[in-house]
Amino acid sequence: MNPDSNEPDPIETVIELEVPPGQSPVRIDLYLTDKTANATRTKVQRAIKEGRVEVNGALASKVSMPVQPGDRIRCTVMRPPPIEIVPEDIPLSILYEDDTLLVVDKPAGMVVHPAYGHRSGTLINALLHHVGAGPLSGDEIEDTDDDDVGLSTATAGPRYEGDPTVRPGLVHRLDKDTTGVMVVAKTDVAAAHLGKQFADRTIRRRYLALVWGVPEAKGRVEGWLGRSPRDRKKVSVRPEGEGKWAATTYEVVDDLGTTALVRFRLETGRTHQIRVHAQSIGHPVFGDVTYGGDRIVYGAAEGSRKAFMRNLFTRLGPRQALHASTLGFVHPTTGEEMDFEAPLPEDMAWVVERLRKVEAGR
C-alpha cells in the first residue's frame, strides 16, 4: 500500500501505440498524454526522461521530439491495480424503486462510481449492496448480465483500454459535490431506453444553483466546451468546433442582492456544463473552488461581510451550491411520464436563507 494515499502499490504496465496516418507532427509528451488513460504531462515527461518510452525500438531522445505517422511507441507506465467494486452498506435516499429502475437523491461528497483515488464509498458501492449483488470487476463484467447483478450491465464495462472501473446501472452522472436526483437502470432494457432519452434530449432536468451576482431574469448560454489546455481537470469555453457544443437556459428564482438562486435547464449534458456556463457569464456558482466561486465576487470583501461569507463557505463543506432538483422521463416499460423532485439539501438551504435575511435588498 502506498503510504501517501489509500491506493494500493502500482503495477508495471506496457502500452503499445502506432501513430495513425494523417497525424500532424506533435510533441511526444503531448501525444502520449492525450492517448494514455489517466496520464498527465508531468508523468509522461518523467517516463521519457527515465528511459521508459521507446519509438521504433529506440529510446525517446527528449520530451519534445515529434511523432510521425507510422511510428511505433512502446511506453512502460506504473498504474494502480484494477478496481474491484465491493458492495458497501451505505444509506441511500431512495425516491422511487421498482423492478426496472430506481431513483435516488445523491448527497454531497459521494462519488458516483469508483475510480483511482476513490475505490470505496461511492454510489455504485451502495447500489450493489442495496440490490444484494456481489463484488464486480472489469474482467468479470462481460460474462455477467443484469439478472446476476440486479443492475444493468449492458454498458457497464470499461469504455477504453486501461479504464479502471465498471459502472453497473449508470445512465448519467452528477459531480461528487453536486446533490440531487439520479435515475439508475436495473435492467439492460431500461438502460437502453433511458440512454436514448438522454441522447435525444427528452429527459427533463432542472437544477437549482446559488450564483454570485444577479443575472438577467431569463437567459440562454450556448457554445463549445472542452478540456482546458491549461488544466486537464477543468472544462473551458472553446473556439467554435473545438470540443462539444452545449446549451443551457436559466431563470432567476430569487434575487438575494449580491447573489441569486437560479434555476438551470440543461439542453445538453456536458461535464461541468452549468458550472462553466455560469462562470462564462460572470456569475460563478457560489462555493465552486474549480470555477472561481469560492471567493467574494460581488460586494465588499472586508470586515464583517468577509467573515459572514467565510461562514457560509464553511457551512457548505466546502462545495459548490448546485443541486439537481428535478428529473423527468418516460418509464422504460410502462410508458408513464414520471417526474421526481428532491428538496434543497440542508446545507444549501441554510446558506440561501442566511443570504436572504442578511443580503437581500442591499
Q: What is the model's pLDDT at position 291? A: 96
* Per-residue pLDDT reduced to its tens digit, 134-159: 888 766 666 677 887 899 988 887 66
Q: What is the model's pLDDT at position 280? A: 96
Report helix angle 303-316 to 346-358, nearest 10: 160
Residue pointed to by grid coordinates 447573489: 259
**CA gap 149, 140 in Å, rounded:** 11
Q: Give residue 341's identity as a one-letter amino acid code.
A: E
Task: Specify whether the CB–CB gap between 197 and 330 falls below 8 A.
Answer: yes
The residues that are catalytic are 175
* Per-residue pLDDT reduced to its tens digit, 99-124: 999 999 999 999 998 876 677 899 99
Residues β-bridged to residue 325: none
Residues β-bridged to residue 338: 329
Task: Specify whether the CB–CB gap between 321 and 345 falls below 8 A.
Answer: no
Q: What is the model's pLDDT at position 185? A: 97
* Per-residue pLDDT reduced to its tens digit, 53-79: 999 999 998 999 999 999 999 998 776
Q: What is the model's pLDDT at position 13? A: 76
Q: Give residue 40's identity as a one-letter amino acid code.
A: T
Q: Which parts of the chain register pLDDT below 70?
A: 1-11, 37-38, 79-82, 116-117, 138-143, 158-164, 361-362
Q: Which residues 6+ apart lie within 8 Å of 152 measured at CB? A: 146, 168, 169, 171, 185, 186, 187, 188, 190, 191
User: Domains (ranges, CATH) in the chain?
Assistant: 11-79 (3.10.290.10), 84-199 (3.30.2350.10), 204-358 (3.30.2350.10)
